[in-house]
Amino acid sequence: MGNKIVVALGGNALGNTVKEQLELASVAAKSIVDLMETGHDIIVTHGNGPQVGMISKAMNYAYEKNIIGTELPMAESSALSVGYIGFHLQNAIQNELRKRGMNKGVASVVTQVLVDKEDGGFRNPTKPIGAFVAKEEAQMLEKETGYKFVEDSGRGYRRVIASPKPVDIIELESIRNLSDHSVVIACGGGGIPVIEENGKLIGAEAVIDKDLTSALLARLIDADVFIILTAVEHVAINFNQPNMKKLEVITQKELKTYVGEGHFAAGSMLPKVLAAMDFTGSGKNKKAIITSLENSSRALRENAGTIIIS
């Protein structure tokens, strides 16, 4: 009997155009089906940072030019991005399964994730979304829209919005039931954030960190392994310095020490490391892996990448 595995795929790993995303989804599908061939049950999550930002920017531009009659809230922008990313991944995985003669269903679940309306993230927006822009354009957009922009990793300026912590996954039982028979694509973009008011769920102007939601999902379904796919094969300390050291097998306690020493960037590797620690701290014999998409099929077979253990 195989493991139950949650695989978190970064939105930046899916390119910046529909054509690029289709091509990269096919690459991701090969790695996912490789894992399935060894008997594992797979749930796929994915980011949507670049995609939701482009959708929001395009729709708001259309509103400003009177092409459409209303601005599009972030929850709806997120839902649009989750729909088309989910379609591309679902299609690519189905095609890969057909090619290999494997009889397995694939289903995408547009997932609502509950957040606390009092979360401090709403008062201090920090989550970058959308395309990079020059400083002058960022300043102009701030004046025109009231959005907040910050410099991001030396690559330009990006809009930031609230990033509250995920509290619960509304469609959890549906995801759990589907995963017994199908590859499930869920919690896209960290899930569509909703708050509870007067017994109703209402979309929130926020983006949830997809790694934290993925870790929450992995905990709630009692997954055996949590794999975070990113741009590098290993997590490293002293990154890009002469004394850089790749981390291979490391305990949660050891990794916590490196977090305390400030080795991981807040907008880059830190959320992934914290999510991995969150999952491995949820029980005995839990394993998290952080590695590249290209390396993912070797992650379980050969302990490739950075392996975090309880």
The reported pLDDT for the residue numbered 225 is 94
Output the pLDDT for position 128. 78
Query: Among residues 11, 47, 49, 130, which one is catalytic?
Result: 11
Q: Which two tokens stand for residue 261?
A: 């020493």
Q: What is the CATH number of the domain that holds 88?
A: 3.40.1160.10
Catalytic residue among 57, 127, 286, 287: 127
Helix then strand then coil, % of the chain, to nearest 5: 40, 25, 35
C-alpha span between 113 and 110 (Å, rounded): 10
Tell me, yes or no, whether 160 lies in a domain.
no
- E strands, the chain, in order: 4-9, 41-46, 105-108, 112-115, 127-133, 148-151, 157-161, 166-169, 182-185, 192-197, 200-203, 225-230, 236-237, 245-246, 249-251, 287-292, 306-309
Residue 210 annotated in active site: yes
The pTM assigned to this predicted structure is 0.88
Q: What is the pLDDT of residue 23?
A: 84
Instruction: Classify burial at 301, counting beta carbons within 10 Å of its beta carbon; exposed 0-12, middle 13-18, buried 19 or more.
Output: exposed
Catalytic residue among 57, 60, 190, 272: 272
DSSP letter (8 states) at residue 287 = E
Residue 130 · residue 52 · CB < 8 Å: yes
Question: DSSP labels for 135-170?
Answer: HHHHHHHHHHH--EEEE-TTS-EEEEE--PPEEEET
> CA 165 to CA 102: how far, in whole Å?
37
Q: Reply yes or no on whether 127 is catalytic.
A: yes
Along the 310 residues of the chain, how does pLDDT read in single tens digits?
A: 578 999 999 766 676 677 888 888 898 899 899 888 888 899 999 988 778 778 877 887 787 778 887 778 888 989 999 999 999 999 999 999 999 999 999 999 999 999 999 999 999 888 877 778 899 999 998 998 888 899 987 789 988 889 999 999 999 999 999 998 899 999 999 999 999 999 999 999 898 999 999 999 999 999 999 999 988 899 999 988 899 999 999 999 999 999 999 999 877 899 999 999 999 988 788 999 999 888 877 877 787 899 999 8
Contacts of 205 (CB under 8 A, 6+ apart): 73, 74, 75, 161, 162
How many C-beta atoms surround the C-beta of residue 221 within 10 A? 18
Q: Has residue 99 been placed in a domain?
A: yes
- Full residue range of the structural domain in which residue 9 is found: 4-111+168-309
Q: What is the reported pLDDT for 40? A: 86
| Active-site residue, 12 included | yes
Active-site position among 4, 210, 286, 287: 210
Q: Is 117 contained in some domain? A: no
Cα distance between residue 90 and residue 161, in whole Å: 28
Tokens 């092409």 — which residue? 67
- Report the pLDDT value the prediction gives residue 15, as an integer from 0 to 100: 66
Q: Which two tokens stand for residue 171?
A: 């469609």
Is there a domain that residue 161 lies in? no
CB-based contacts of 262: which residues, under 8 Å, 6+ apart? none
Q: Is residue 9 part of a domain?
A: yes
Residue 152 within a domain: no
Q: Tally the domains of the chain.
A: 1
User: Which residues sit opposite 202 in a β-bridge?
Assistant: 195
Q: Is residue 124 part of a domain?
A: no
155 found inside a domain: no
Cross-strand bridge partners of residue 151 = 157
- The confidence score (pLDDT) of residue 12 equals 64
Per-residue model confidence (pLDDT) at position 141: 86
At residue 135, the pLDDT reads 93
What is the Cα 273 distance to its own chain's centre?
13
d(CA 280, CA 292): 19
Q: In the numeric block, which tokens belong to residue 8?
A: 């978190």
Residue of 2, 3, 12, 30 marked catalytic: 12
